[in-house]
Structure 1
Amino acid sequence: MEMRSQGRLRASQQRTPEEHSGEEAGLSQLPRNGQSNTLQKQRLFTIIFTIVAAFIVGFSGACVARMGQERQEQKVLLEQYLPEVVATRNRLDGLWDQNEKMLQEHSGVAAQLSEEIGTLKKELKDLRDAVSVNSRKKSEVLLDWALKSTGATIDLERSSKTYSWDGMRSCRLFWLPCTPNPPDTILQPDVSLGNCWAFQGSRGQVVIRLPAKIQATMVTVHHTSDMDSALGKFSSAPRDFTVSGVDEETEAETLLGTFTYAVQKKPVQTFPLQEIPRAFQVIKVVIQSNWGNPDYTCIYRVQVHGRGTATSRWPGDMSSANKNKK
């Protein structure tokens, strides 16, 4: 290495002055060439920047122009269709308000209908309950307590005598069955023509002993049919009569009603009694007049209706209970 360095030193010392001046001139030209390259690069950058800027400006201008055109078109479209859109929205708002109003009205109507339906249901339930109660009461009230088959009897001592006519003697002579019907005929359901109990004259009475104490509410009187009445066979029918309850211990009578049997009406007529908070087992019926027959008055059937007391039951129920026990 030292030998190489010494050789180079020797070579440099052996160079001529011309060679040294040429080297110095070459070294002086190196900075100028560097400045020239820098200027060229700056010019190139300026050109490129100018081109890019021009492109950007041109593109931006085109975009701005395009956007302006689109905005103009949008403005035209908006001006063209905005009134229609506004009108459509107004119509929709009107329809919406109308629907809300209809819904409110329908809601009110529905609420009213629901309330009315509830009221009708309640009234229907009350009506059914009332009908059920009335039916039960009616079935209780229309029970015939004056029925021979369930134990009702006639107090013969306090009742009028049975009517006997002169023709009965001829019947006995010829051994014909012409025995008059007894008073308890009126306690039986057969009301066919002639199957009645007759007493003499137009005034008489019959005392019925019921099988149990009841609170009497109605009496029903039967006579012959309308056809027989049309034939003039109603003159023996009872007309004015009274119904009383009789106390068994004191024999005191309590008037329960005064009535008139109308032959021009149906042959079966029911009369409501004065309801009092007392129960009777003995009922007295007094016939005060008939419809014109001077010889006798006929009674086909008398029914006594009412409610049993806490200690009495309708004999029909008792007979059914006895059958079930057997």
Structure 2
Amino acid sequence: MTSSSEDPVRQVLSDAMAHLYSAALRAAVLLDVAEHLADGPRDAADLAGEIGAHGPSLHRLLRFLAGRGVFREDEDGRFHLTPAGDVLRADAPRTVRTAVLGMTSDLCLLPATGLAAALRDGGTAFEHRFGRPLFEYLAENPEAGDEFNQAMVDISTAEGDAILAVYDFPGSGVVVDVGGGHGALLLSVLRAHPGLRGVLLDQDAVVAGHLLGQLGGDDRWEVVAGDFFDSVPPGDLLVLKNVLHDWDDEQCARILGNCRRALRPGGRVLVVDAVIPPGNEPDFSKLLDMSMLTLLPGRERTEPQFRDLFDRAGLRLTRVVRTAGVFSLIEAVPG
């Protein structure tokens, strides 16, 4: 967030060069800088020798990221790991290492250069750059698909505790993770609520990498390969995390309609997505919305827009619960 008193030229030029922050984060992850600082502060020359980098260049990178709070340089020229830097470590409790690599890859960055063309015709910048929709591209390029899915696991794991802390998941019944990827959120829910059963629904190539086996011999879960545009397995709580923001309103209404038909009596639909607040203040949801505009036909939505989507599918929005993290929980029941 820039100060209202900041020179507008400096503000705009700084924003135009913000891609260098993404590049610096990616370089720090690829060089395992955070891992090497986990045991204590190091000077750049010493660290460079250990990771195989050019010392003076590494110092410049660390100094730049220290200006963004990722690292901290002390009076002796040694660099310390901060909480923001710690989440770059692969074994950090809330690691976003793989998510950072995914978000700073060519797959995400290159389409952004075609945003103006997408704005003219209403398409996505990704299709302008790669010639096909994102999910079609990922299906045809398994390595890119694996990286994308692992990035989603990172995000789900990092946000899981914030979701569990504020929502009253039922003590029994069936939770269906609709379009749940590898099932990171469902895994957390089942661990926290032993009376629940879980069903993970996603495409065959995606659920092949599911995480639910980490529950060991627990027989409370099932993996279903399918398409939520066709049907959804029946359940008492149907969760859609980071699903609706991928699709346009017509597609969302179709997904939600299938969810409405799959609900058992007394059941609920729980959408986990960012909710755009009113006003001009910066908000992470608006940044995510630009990512959607670049990559996919969907969008981040306001609360009234979610209400309209539910109405179209025969559902009624009952409440919006904000978490301490990025996302909100938007609950609906049959209307």
TM-score w.r.t. structure 1 length?
A: 0.18
Q: Rg larger in 1 or in 2?
A: 1
Between the two structures, name the one with larger relative contact order (CA 8 Å, sep ≥ 6).
Answer: 1
TM-score w.r.t. structure 2 length?
A: 0.18
